[in-house]
Structure formats: C-alpha cells, structure tokens
A and B are shown apart, each in its own frame.
Chain A
Amino acid sequence: MTEQSMDFESAFRSLQEIIARLENSELPLEEAIKLYEEGKRLSEVCANILAAAELRVSTLPRELTTDENDEEAVF
C-alpha cells in the first residue's frame, strides 16, 4: 500500500522548493533547465496522484483492540 496523500504532499513540497530555487535569476542556465525538467516531472506525479485518488476505508477489529487494521476496502 502506498501512502497516496503522503506522496502527493512530498512531491508537491519538492515542486515548491524547485520553484523557489528557480526564482533566483542568476542560476546557471544548465541548472535552471535541469530544475525545470524535475519540476515538470513532479507536477505530473502530483496530477496523476490526484486523478487516481480513491478514499480507502478500513475498519478496526470488532474487539476494538490496538492491533493493526484488518481488511481494507476502497470506497
């Protein structure tokens, strides 16, 4: 199971960091292009996560123990 929301947030944060670095206009062109390509990739990763997002619902065991979740269903 992948943490889709975690992935989105970390990818989005990386995208924001790249944008912050690109705001420095003295960046060598080579590096700016590299950052742009990485940002573009992250933007697509984020968009794909949003497009594919589905609420995942699991139920705690009936006994309400502190064990890990049992079965998982996609709602």
Chain B
Amino acid sequence: MIDALFEGLFLVLQWKALAFMLLGIGLGFWVGLLPGLGGATTLALMLPFIYTMQPVEAFAFLLGMHAVVATTGDITSVLFGVPGEGTSAATILDGHAMAKKGEAGRALGAALASSLVGAIVGAFALALAIPVVRPLVLSFGSPELFMLAIVGIAFIASLSAQGVRGMLRGFLAGGLGLFLATVGQDPQAGVARYTLGTLYLWQGLELIPVLVGIFAIPEIIDLVVRGTSIAGTRPSGRISKGAFEGVKDTFRHFGLTIRCSLIGTFIGIMPGMGGAVAQWMAYGHATQSARNAEERKGFGAGDVRGVLGPGAANNSKEGGSLIPTIAFGVPGSTAMAILLGAFFLLGMVPGPDMLSKHLPVTFSMVWTIVLANVITVLACFMFLNRLASLTTVRGQLLIPVILMLVFIGSYTSNNHYGDIVVTLLFGGVGYLMVLGGWPRAPFVLGLVLGKIAENYLYISVARYEAAWLTRPVVLVLIALAIAVILYPLFQSRRRAAHA
C-alpha cells in the first residue's frame, strides 16, 4: 500500500505528466473563474487531446484541470456572489457577506487555504480508506443512500434561524426546494410533472440557473440600491491585506476544517449523492460550531467558518468521488462520467483492479488532486489581494460585468433561453427571501437532495417494501438524522443552562 502510494507520486512527478498537469491547472484555473463554464464542459472539450497520451499523463492533465475548478470557483462566489460552479454556491453565504464587510481578502484566503487542507485531508483519508472502500460502498444500498439524503435534509434545522419562527421558515424554504425538485419527468412512471407544457422542464430545474438567480441577482440588486462598491466605503488598504488572516483562520478552526474535509470525502465516495451535496452538509455542520445564539446569527452575515466548511468539503470530495468512478465504473457527477470516458479511450477498464493491480495509477490520480491544489493555492496567493481590491471598484462599473457573468453562466447550462428565464425568476424569489429574512440555504438543500431522496425511497420500497427500515445502517442513519434535527434544540438548552 505504502509502496503504491509513493509509486503513484513518482508517476505524477515524471516530467511529461507534470507538464500536462500544469497545463491542465492553467486551463482549470480560468474555467473555475468563469461561472457556468463548468469543469465538466471543459473536460469534454479536452478529451480528444488525450488520445496520444499515456494514462498517467492523461489523468494528470484532466484531473489537474478538474481539481482546481472547485478551488477557483470560490473566487467569484466570494467577490461577486456569483457561484463559479454549482459546487461553490455555499461559499457565497458567508464569503460574499465578508466581502461586503470589507473582508474579501480574508474570505478568499480562508476559502483557498481550506480548499488546500480539504484536498490534502481528502486524499489521505482516501488512501487510508482504500482497503475498506469497496465493502463500504457496497454496504450502502438504496435504503442507506435514501437515509443519507434524509440526514442531509435534516441539516435544514441547523441552516435555519433560531427560534420557532426561524425554524418554521427554514423548513418551509426546504419544503419549497423539495417540491421544486419534483419538477420534470419522474423516473419511475415516466410522467411529466409540473412541466407547464414545456419540453425545457422535462429534465427538471437545472441547478446552475437556479443558484445563480437565487444568490447573484439579489446581490446585484443590493449593489444597485446601495450605489457604492461591494465593500461599501471601507478603506481599500485593509481589504487587500487580509488574505493571510484567512489562512490563519483555517488553522484557528482547524478541527472544523478537518471535519468538513472528512464529510466531503465521505459524500464523494458515496455514488449517487452528487457534487453539490457535500458543501451544504459541511456548511450545515459549520453552523453547528456556533457556541451561542449571537455567533449563530453571524452565519450568513460573514462568519469565516461558513467559508471554511464548504471550501474544505468541496475539494476533499474530489478524491472521494474518484472511487465509485474507478472502482465500480459509476460516475458520481457529469465530470466523473467524462473521466470514465477517458478510461475507455485509454483502453483502461474501471473495476476492482484499480484498487489492487493498478493501485499506483489510482494513487497517481489522488496525488494529482493534491499537487494541483497546492500549486493553484500558491499561485492564487500571489494576486489574491489584488483580486480582493475588485470589491472596492464602483458598483456602476462592476454591475455590467457581473450581469454578463450571470447570464453567460446560466445560459451555458442548457444553451436555452429557458435558463435565463429560470435565473430571472429565481432572482426574484431570492430577492424576496432576502427582504423577508427567509434563509436560502435550506431551499437549496431541499432542491439538491429532493430528487436523490425521492429516487432512492422509491427504489427502497419497490425492492424491499417495508423491510428496508430494519437494515442496521439505515437505523444508524435514522438516529443520526434525529440527532442532527435535535442538535440546535440541545444547543439552545445548553446555552440557557450556562446563562
């Protein structure tokens, strides 16, 4: 195992593999910055270039590119409130709020440093888990995956504001998300639900246009109304010198960063959970770290822990999501499906052999993710403070650029005008939610997990009827979901007892 680990590292450090990885990183860096132009699209575009490469070089190129997309995707989330990727939306809640408080540099520093820690922890957790990863994945059938989605939905309790009113709003927002997840053709009976007679809605609501609308549009309206720069009237000197403070924050809350990294790795390993889930579960866990009601209120208003959690989970899940792809041939995301295509192009067959006979190649992929993140974060720090200065540029100059990013980002989801309509519609919903003090995170969590939960519940009942409820892992996850729901209540009781 250790031999394979080092052999994998040496494979990536061969000059050709390293050169291709650097090329991939360069491409991924810019793709991550551009909202909507996702890592998956770029992977697909780059696929024809790997024909003449050796497997290690090809994967260094493709994974190097893919690994940094999540890292640089955080940059637009923090600076402009526009999710660079569907997987970096959770960073907006506190990252952009920090930017508006004049702490863009600190938020970016925290996002990047936690991304780096996440990638490293994820890779090492994965390396340690390889002997048990196959039985682990196989022990999670549809009933367990359904319950895992329920645990995710239970985080709505933590993502909602305190008190009965806050909790009610959170669960209603989550319910709206769950309802909207039912839009589209249902996979069980093939019935088109709530499609309003349009073909566009047959495949359901695409996540990117919804996320861009619900998060970016309210920020743009806010910027227009304020008539200032994103950071308001704060002096630019302080804004552009906070990056190192963000790094220190990562180590101040190191335990949280590690835990969120492990959440990301676990969600990544689970086939069928999708890339967008990990960040929200990590964000939900980060909010649980608030020690008192005052601190809890700070989440969503610029608490650095709200940046560290999703940042770490986003990058740690990348290593994890390799497992179902390479060991079982089941891609966990569109990007991984394209990577699976690369396997076949290179004449490799995903399967158990990738965890035994070809383990060094598997480890070379894990190392690529780690090295790509290290290189990207170091490169980013060279001009992070300059990027942060963008938050001091007058709103009138920034708004056209942000609007362009918003509409290009949403339109490239399906190349359909429906994407723009969805963005505008959910922009209105998002703005009303912000005005009324309704939390947006539970809504997104409901939307992301709704379809997953519905599918696995149907399969579980169709396959096992009620017997699935007695499976041991299901029982453990039921207990975990209850604990997650009751945790905020337990926290407030404990606070009251201390007071």
A, B co-complexed: no
Residues of B within 8 A of A (CB): none
Residues of A within 8 A of B (CB): none
